Amino acid sequence: MDTEAQPTERDRPSHPESPGPEERSRFALVSRITDWLPGGRITLSLFVCLAFLLLLNAFVVQPFQIPSGSMEQGLRIGDRILVNKLAYRFGAQPRRGDVVVFDGSGYFGDADYVKRVVGVGGDHVVCCDKKGRIEVNGRAVDESSFLYPGDSASSVPFDVAVPEGRLFVLGDHRSDSRDSRDHLGSPGGGMIPVGDVIGRADWIVWPYGHWTHLTRPSAYARVPSSDGAHG
């Protein structure tokens, strides 16, 4: 027979357990902060939200406004885009067709720019073939799905080899874009260091009517890598 005493309902404490020392200390700290802040808990909540947004902006996603028509008609003047700052943080590299935002200081000018990646390190990029198309590693690229209507691939001929760790970038509105073509004779040859890429433009979020997810076009899918393998 089990002789160990079992507590009855009458024996159970009628009040829930009181907070331990750590919980009381934490509550007291929050209480002191809210007593000190004008507005109390509301102000504290606003500060917490602001800190979260600052961390999000610094490490995860950052909004940018499109200042010019160089990426029309996909990105229009005044569009707000969200840039994925984690896209290239864990070993991934920018790929042909990605729309990227980068720091142009020392290359394009002291500002951030948004362009499309046309060539990556090791690529041979030529314009233009007999049909007026850009060729990457000997493969013609059909840019009609994103090139501004009526624009040619380029009014300026070029034949470039992209160094490792660099990107050759162009605007989709070629006749209204200052890009790698305009800096071929400058230090770095108009090629953007991968390390200066802030992130990949993934979404248009404003105005609401332009809301869309930006995807990599299939035009570059058959372009071989610089060693001859298909990328």
For residue 194, the SS3 value is: helix
Instruction: Name the phi and psi angles at 80, rounded to 5.
Output: -105, 130
The values of phi and psi at residue 93, to 5°, are -120, 155
- The yes-or-no answer on residue 70 being catalytic is yes
Is the torsion defined by CA of 208, 209, 211, 214 positive or negative? Answer: negative
Residue from 70, 154, 177, 180 carrying the catalytic annotation: 70
Handedness of CA 70, 168, 181, 219 (dihedral sign): negative
Catalytic-role residue among 31, 45, 115, 152: 115
Structural contact between residues 219 and 137, judged by C-beta atoms closer than 8 angstroms: no
Q: Which long-range contacts (CB under 8 A, 24 or more apart) does 13-17 make?
A: none
Residue 92: phi and psi, rounded to 5, are: -75, 150
Active site residue 115: yes
Active site residues: 70, 115
